[in-house]
Chain A
Amino acid sequence: MAETIRVIGDTLPGADLNAPLLEVDDLRVEFQVRGKRVPAVRGASFTLERGRTLAVVGESGSGKSVTSQAVMGILDTPPGHITGGAVRLHGVDLLDKDEETRRTIRGNHIAIVFQDALSALNPLWSVGFQIGELFRVHRGTGRKEARRRAVELLDLVGIPDAANRVGDYPHQFSGGMRQRVMIAMALALDPEVLIADEPTTALDVTVQAQIMRLLKRIQAERNMGLILITHDLGVVADVADDVAVMYAGEVVERAGIREVFKRPAHPYTKALLRAIPRVDAVGRELEVIGGLPPNPASLPSGCPFHPRCFAAEDKCAAEVPPWLEPAENHGSRCHFAQEVYTDER
């Protein structure tokens, strides 16, 4: 613990350990597409505490991955631009920092696991080199020592015979093992925040469960904050503590995982939950959400979900809904949050 504080003091001046671990506040990101500015994230807010797991759930194009890239500071600029909001790590707004400071934070304090490990790992370098690179760049470790640490990490994430596989190349690993390598790489410098961006989407169902368990175990051991980005509510059910549901670039509902599953306060969440296949509903047709996610370049007026919403009224097309909290620590961006919460709609 003492060492952690020292490291934070070195790389993150002004860090306040009493402040929330990671606080994303009204984050806004726009993309420049053929001269037009298209909003990708329109005010995402959530908080992550030490030792907690936050699931960020949403369809493709809802702004989940862009949010995570903006938090990491690896957004492609141009075309992406952060136009507002704050990303606070221990109370320090990272968006104010220069690129050199942000670079030292990446890997050290915040790390990320990408979806497709095959393309996310460089095919021309051994996995040991790619893991060891973190120690060598951030800690000035020598080649040999970096390799030894890489073996330890590979062992930690459950790669059999790690000492012999450290010199292997990404294409020599199976999909699940490659994702373990990705995780080992992210864990190398013992970051406080780990972002997993759809870590299991490219994997078989059985391997998915193993990777989820691995993430959960390591998160608990190291008391990390884990952000789990996924489009699959089912995957996060027994791993996450909190959920932020994103739709059309904004967080539309935020609450504890049990709360969300039991009493969703946004019609979109409700529809998502109904769309999860259930064992006790065999033979019945699977429920779907009608329509398509909106095009960010031309969002519907008012509430962006209203054209697909089962509870929509005239008001929804006219007015942007406010952030309502039908219960403590349970917020929803819906005009009828209260009614949806109490299941009157």
Chain B
Amino acid sequence: MKNGIGLFLFLTVFAACEKNNPVSEEKPVVSSGVFILNQGRQGENNSGISYYDFKTGTVTFDLMDGKLGDTGQDMIIYGSKLYVSVHGSSVINVIDLKTAESVKIIPVEDDEAHPRGPRYLTSYGGKVYASTYDGNVIRIDTATLAIEKTTAVGPNPEGIAAANGKLYVANTNGLDFPNFDNTLSVVDIATFTETKKITVGRNPNCVAADAYGDIYLSYKGNYADIPSGMQKIDTKTDEVTDITGISAGENFTVVDDILYYFDVVYNSDGTTSCTYGRYNVKTEQKVPGEIISDETKINTAYAIGVDPENKDVYISDMKPDKIYVFDAGGIFKETVNAGIFACKFVFYYD
């Protein structure tokens, strides 16, 4: 019997001495730096925002202390706040830039309390807009931080961009994979109703506006016989032009006059290869030279961001999770450890 008691004591001691509560770091004072949205993994409530301060050079692993929610999708700055669409939790989390505290968590639900699933964000004329995966666009008043209005677009919309008094929303019909949609919904901002659908490439995904009244769009194809591609929409005429020689199937971002894009090819042997490039939206020409000009190899690129001041390029790798920083000349500068699946970079200078 003595042995038995001994074993129990041993186990109890084990149980007692191994209590390890994660200790979150002190919140930094936000000045100039980059906010990195970590998507996290679906169902794990582990989305977060890392912050890399340019002055101190420190990285805060999660400004939100693990409370952001499940599956962060997109993040923009509007006014003095960060707006984060959190898809799994179906909320827009509005965060004060300076204090990094959540100001409001806006549930994005329909009248029967079904989650709508917010996706991508944009802002225009004092309002913030988000596409929702149930086939709508919501409008958030930035003063009251409430959803004012909802309007229907196509099925399972992803990217959203605003230009010339109109919203352009990429309809994917992704829930009916592989029967993807091939339209962009055009929503008149004044009346907040969809006015038409423009036919574009199969499975449109990422949209962004430049400074010259054009919308750039990348479509992913059907992952089989229909390839990915890139198009431009003139917002005056809503005319669609194909841009060839650019492989932006995965994602892109427009900073000043340069469109930075990348694509990932999934090879049949299970490996991946990534390609990157730049396109000048003013001259409408490919920019010579490479985003990565040295030997640095990224396994599976997931997101791209560009520092508007010094034009440093940030590329996240998801296999494994790591962020690579390159200078404007394409030379590797450093890596930043953020959270899981870094999916958006937002730069801020005060």
Whether both chains belong to one complex is answered with: no
Q: Which residues of A are in contact with B by a Cβ distance under 8 Å?
A: none
Q: Which residues of B are in contact with A by a Cβ distance under 8 Å?
A: none
